[in-house]
């Protein structure tokens, strides 16, 4: 038996390498169709109630939120959060176009640095791709304009999310992600439900176990249909 035949048999045994044509056709059809399982009824709500459910579930998971009427109010909301928790006014910010165009000059005491988070950064500012109402979860894809380190290293993370990006179920968030950037999927997608926490030791809840101990969402009301 040739070397390639032996390696091919091993790949098939490990379910690696080329699939038989009938299996490959079935897999391609499934990937193209994106079949869905049962979607919970709790997220099938009118838009205002959907956004309210997102915020309620977000806060149930130990995160906080402030809802603002327009982009111009975002810097003030960020400054209030920092002052409330006695945090420094220096932030490391995702180099996302929607964050760059916010009127930061209205609050000159805020000092922003774009790029990846470093070990010494206390607060990060991230762009929210989507909010999922059924669990209060943030979908945060990684990429050059949304560095993953912003979600992991600083003790406090602020996420700016538009109300138009709040969806009911996970399936809808994945639909949006597949439709973005010409269908190219990011290298990784982080699904964040509240600040990092663990109760592994004596069942005592500890915030900040594996990432930020504070998670704050600034929700911008850019969707008239979502305003009750």
> In the predicted model, what is the mean pLDDT of residues 95-111?
97
Look at residue 41 and tell me whether its pLDDT is greater than 60: yes
- Reference 67, options 170, 200, 160, 173; nearest CA is 160
| pLDDT above 90 for 183 | no
CB atoms within 10 A of CB 36: 12
Q: Give the per-residue pLDDT at 208.
A: 47
Where residue 10 falls among pLDDT bands split at 50, 70, 90? confident
Query: 22-26, 83-87, 155-159 — which is least confidently predicted?
Result: 22-26
The label of the residue with tokens 């000159």 reads 108
The CA distance from 196 to 198, in Å, is: 7
Q: Which of 69, 52, 49, 48 is nearest to 60 (CA)?
A: 52
Pairing of strands 206-207, 197-198: antiparallel
Q: What is the mean pLDDT of residues 1-19?
A: 71
Domains of the chain: 1-33 (no CATH), 45-226 (3.40.50.10420)
The verdict on pTM exceeding 0.75 is yes
CB burial string 90-103: b at 16+ within 10 A, e below = ebbbbebeebeebe
Q: Where are the beta strands (DSSP E) in the chain?
A: 64-68, 90-93, 111-114, 123-127, 130-132, 137-141, 156-162, 166-167, 189-192, 197-198, 206-207, 214-220
DSSP state of 99: H
pLDDT above 80: residue 109: yes
Mean pLDDT of the residues in the chain: 89
Render pLDDT for 63-75 as a digit per residue (tens, 0 to 9).
999 999 999 999 9
């Amino acid at each position: 038996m040739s070397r390639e035949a032996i390696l091919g048999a091993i790949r098939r045994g490990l379910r690696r390498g080329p699939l038989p044509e009938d299996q490959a056709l079935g897999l391609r059809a499934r990937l193209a169709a994106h079949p869905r399982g049962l979607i919970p009824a709790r997220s099938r709500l009118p838009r205002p109630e959907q956004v309210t459910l997102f915020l309620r579930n977000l806060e149930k998971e130990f995160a906080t939120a402030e809802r603002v009427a327009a982009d111009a109010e975002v810097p003030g909301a960020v400054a209030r959060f920092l002052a409330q928790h006695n945090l420094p006014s220096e932030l490391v910010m995702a180099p996302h176009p929607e964050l760059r165009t916010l009127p930061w000059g209205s609050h000159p005491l805020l000092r922003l640095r774009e790029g990846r988070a470093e070990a010494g950064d206390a607060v990060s500012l991230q762009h929210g791709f989507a909010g999922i109402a059924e669990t209060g979860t943030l979908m945060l894809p990684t990429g050059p304009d949304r560095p993953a380190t912003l979600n992991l290293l600083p003790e406090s993370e602020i996420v700016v999310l538009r109300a138009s990006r709040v969806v009911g179920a996970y399936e809808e968030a994945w639909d949006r992600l597949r439709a973005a950037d010409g269908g190219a999927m990011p290298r990784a997608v982080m699904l964040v439900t509240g600040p990092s926490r663990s109760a592994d030791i004596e069942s005592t809840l500890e915030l900040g176990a594996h990432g930020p101990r504070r998670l704050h969402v600034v929700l911008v009301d850019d969707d008239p249909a979502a305003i009750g």
